[in-house]
Structure 1
Amino acid sequence: MVEAVIFDIGNVLIEWQPERYYDALMPRAEREAMFAEVDLHAMNDNIDRGAPFRDTIYDWAERYPKWRDKVRLWHDDWIKMASPGIERSQRLMAALQAKGIPVFSLTNFGIGSYDHAAQFYPFLRQFDRDFISGHMGVTKPDPKIYQMLESETGLSGHQLIFTDDRADNIATAHTFGWKTHLFEGPDGWAKRLIDEGLLSEAEAA
């Protein structure tokens, strides 16, 4: 029996599309050249493991004078990369909690970037339990972060159902025996919650 529902955040509850953001600022070929030269996702991985938000980005920007101003936008304009919110997913979270079903986060997210995002997305302060990689010092799909969640909640296996948009994160959850759903949009996730008996069709609308 499912005792708690676990949501990833990026591309599940909030769209996270840095490439799309930069494509709106510069020609796509130029953006691709920047991403090929500057490993922005590796920079962000450091933040997700707990490195300082602004300082990490600004220090990274100094390594690449050609791209300095654009790299700094990863911090200065960050909320535009993390938008819009995925409203139906947020409604599903609220509907589960309204029925007394605990909802946890399990997210690769920095400390400073999460605090910044929560100013724009109040639901980020409404999880029953938060499992944020920046505070935990480890990111998905490392098994350690899943072990930490189980240890802290006392739940495991089929007591948990987890949705994430990345197959590698789902694959690790499978090794722990969790129920899983590869998130490809809120409609499919809503159907899964209905099929699991956690929400009715009306509650999942």
Structure 2
Amino acid sequence: MSVKAVVFDIGNVLIEWNPERFFDAQIGAARRAEMFAAVDLHAMNERVDLGEPFRPQVMALAEAHPDWASEIALWHDRWIEMASPAIPRSVRLLRALRARGVPVFALSNFGVETFAIAEAHYPFFAEFDARFVSGHLRMAKPEAPIYAALERGTGMAPENLLFTDDRADNIAAAQARGWQVHHFTGSDGLAERLVVEGLLTEAEAA
């Protein structure tokens, strides 16, 4: 099986995504843990990733939890700080693949508005050959339809796709469709895999 295109997740592959770290810095680890136990912020974020409007979702949650309202509002007002910084070597690998003429696609769980915020902040978001974003498609990983959408949209056979993602469930769903996969635990490992696949030389992957 030969890899003809590389599919990138974005969060924790190309940019860091760590709301807990942001809130630890803002309100302290203990208070952050208390808030995350009391307020299901990640469930709200999943609704945004499926296409629900960003600000109304955050503000509705803040209204439902008045004791945490000001902290919850930070999820909207300072969102980009949770989705920072870029992971430099991963971005270099993306660009090296493009320079070699290897198609690169994005497959990411992202809200419509949050993707626009990130796109304005990170110019390399515009460098994919195609992007499959959950908020626009109103479907998300690890459910099968979003993987099928990428296959249809790119015309690529599953066995010709190499998909990298930091979440094991997302990887397993792709593998079940016949995709080749790399569980992302750091840029060094991804670089090694791209060299093994013959997509980049060691110098290009540095």
Return the letter of the residue paired with 2:103. Answer: P
> Residue 105 of structure 1 corresponds to which residue in structure 2?
106
Deviation above 4 Å: which 4+ runs of structure 1? none
1:1-205 mapped onto 2 (5 Å cutoff): 1-205=2-206
Task: Give the CA deviation at 1:157.
Answer: 2.2
Task: Give the CA deviation at 1:181.
Answer: 0.3
CA distance in 2, matches of 1:53, 1:200: 41
SS of 2:162 mapped into structure 1: strand
Task: Give the CA deviation at 1:6.
Answer: 0.2
Task: Give the CA deviation at 1:47.
Answer: 0.5
CA distance in 1, matches of 2:40, 2:140: 18
Q: Percent identity between the aligned chains?
A: 56
Return the TM-score normalized by structure 2.
0.98
**RMSD between superposed Cα atoms in Å:** 0.7
Return the TM-score normalized by structure 1.
0.98
CA distance in 2, matches of 1:3, 1:62: 48
CA distance in 2, matches of 1:9, 1:149: 15
Identify unmatched segments of 5+ residues in structure 1. Answer: none
Alignment coverage as a number of residue pairs: 205
Task: Give the CA deviation at 1:137.
Answer: 0.4
Return the letter of the residue paired with 1:142. Answer: E
CA distance in 2, matches of 1:22, 1:29: 10
Task: Give the CA deviation at 1:25.
Answer: 1.1
SS of 1:140 mapped into structure 2: coil
Task: Give the CA deviation at 1:54.
Answer: 1.4
Identify unmatched segments of 5+ residues in structure 2. Answer: none
CA distance in 2, matches of 1:114, 1:61: 22
Task: Give the CA deviation at 1:125.
Answer: 1.4
Task: Give the CA deviation at 1:52.
Answer: 0.8
SS of 2:164 mapped into structure 1: strand
Task: Give the CA deviation at 1:57.
Answer: 0.8
